[in-house]
Structure 1
Amino acid sequence: MNTTKSILIIEDEQDISRVLRDYLVKQGFAADTADNGVEGMRMLAASAYDYVILDIMLPDIDGIELCRRIRESSQVPILILSARDSNTDKVLGLGFGADDYMTKPFSLSELVARIQAHFRRYDSVVMPKQPVGSALQAGPITIDRKSYRVTLHEQEVSLSAKEFELLHHLIKHRNQVFSKNQLLDAVWGYGVYGDENTVTVYIRRLREKLEKDPSSPKMLKTVWGVGYKFNEDLESE
C-alpha cells in the first residue's frame, strides 16, 4: 500500500485512537488523530487527507452532523464508527454522506481490509485516464468517468464518489440484475465484509436524485428477491 495515503482518525477515546493510529502506521499508512469534531474540522481544512475514520459519539459535535458538515466541502471517504448497533444510526450516517459504517467492537484487520479495498477501487477505477469516448448514455442520464460528471436531462447532478461508482456500474451493465452482495464487491470491493443495508441506502439516495418519482422508480429497478438493475427500456416521461 502506498505510504502516502493519509488517514485522519476523529475519536475522543484516546486508547482507541492510539491503537488505531499505531495499527494503521504498521500497515503502511500515515495517520493523525483528533480528539473532537472541532479539531477534526480544523485538521481537515489544513491538510488533504485521503480517508477519515469518524466516531459517531463525540463530546462536542454529533458524528452524523460532523459527517454532514464535512460533505458540504469535501468528498473525502468517511468510515463511521459507532458503539451503538443501530440501523437508524447507520442509515443516517450513510444518508449524510458516509461511505462505510462499522460497529464497536470491531476487528482491526477487517477495518484495514475495508480501507485497502477502497484505495484499490480508487486507484483502479478513478485514477487511470479514460479514453475520450468514455461517457455512457442511458435515457436522460449521461455519466462520464473521465470528468466524474453526471447529467440528468442535461442538468448536472451532484453525486458522491460511491454514488457515482454504483450508478456507473449499473449503467455499464444495464438490464443485468445484481445482488446486494455482488454490488458490495463490485463497488466497495468487500462483499464478504460489507453490510447489505449499505447498498439499500445508496440505491435510495440515487433514486432521490435521479428518479421523477423515487417511490416508483423507472430506471433503478428492484428485482424482488434478487437485487437491483438499471432499466434500459425506459418509459417516456
Structure 2
Amino acid sequence: MSVSTLSGPSTLTLRQLASGEATLEEAGHLSVSVAPGQWEELVGALESHGLGQAVSVEVHGEAPGDWPTDAQLARLVALGCVELRVPWVMELGEQRAEQSAHFVRLLRDCTSHRLRVRWRGAARPPIASWTLYHLEPPESGGTPELDEAARRWRQAHAYGRCYWRAGPGFMLVKDRREGRSATQFLLDDAATRSVFEALSVPKRVESLDTEPEARKALADLQEEALVLELGPWRVALPFRMRCWPVPFIAV
C-alpha cells in the first residue's frame, strides 16, 4: 500500500468547515479533508452550515481505517457529496483480507448511492476480477503490476450489472457482470435472505449462523459469486438499486 495525493480543488480541513470557513471553489465545488472515522463529524458540519454546493471528500492518514457506513453515505449524498477520494493504493486480496472486505463494502454502497470513488488499485488472485466489475472502478492500478487489471475493470464496468431489490417476502438479484451469462436469483427463503442481509457488512465466517440451512445458503451464495470469500471474511457483492437509470430497462 502506498500513498499519493489526488488532484482536485483546494481542500479545507474538517475544523475549518465546522468553524464556518467554507468558501466556494471552482464551479461551486468544495473539497474537505477528513481522517478515517470522522464521518459523523463531517455529517454534522455539513448539516450545520447547509452549504448547498457539491462536496468532494478527501480521506487522509497513514493507512485506511473506518469507512462511512451505508447510512452515513446516504446522509452525505443528501448533503451534496459527489465524490470520495482515497489516497492509498488498494490491493484487494487475501493478504489484507479484512481491509479488502471493508473496502469492497464501501465500493458496493457508494455504487448504490451513485457516489463516485476516486481510487487506485485492483483485485489480486484468488479474487476473480470479474466478480467486482459492477462496483466503482479504479482510476488506475497505482502500480505498474496492477495497471492492466485496473484497465480491464474500467473497461468492463457499467452501472447496474449486479444489484438487488426487495419485494414482499423476497429479494431479487439481477446479475449481468461481464464474465458470466445474465442471471436472476430469487432469494425467497428465510435462511438465504438472512445470510445475505447479514453480509451487508463484512463478517468473519465463524460469526455467522451455523444452522444447516444457513450454512447451505452461504455456500450457495458463494458458489454464485454473490458473496465474496476473502480468507475468513465474507461480504455480499450485489448493491442495492436505489438510483434507477433512464430508461430503467437498461438494467
TM class, shorter-chain normalised?
A: 0.3 to 0.5
Instruction: Give TM-score, length-normalised by structure 1.
Output: 0.34
Higher strand share: 2
Instruction: Give TM-score, length-normalised by structure 2.
Output: 0.33
Between 1 and 2, higher relative CO (CA 8 Å, sep ≥ 6) is seen in 2
Higher helix share: 1
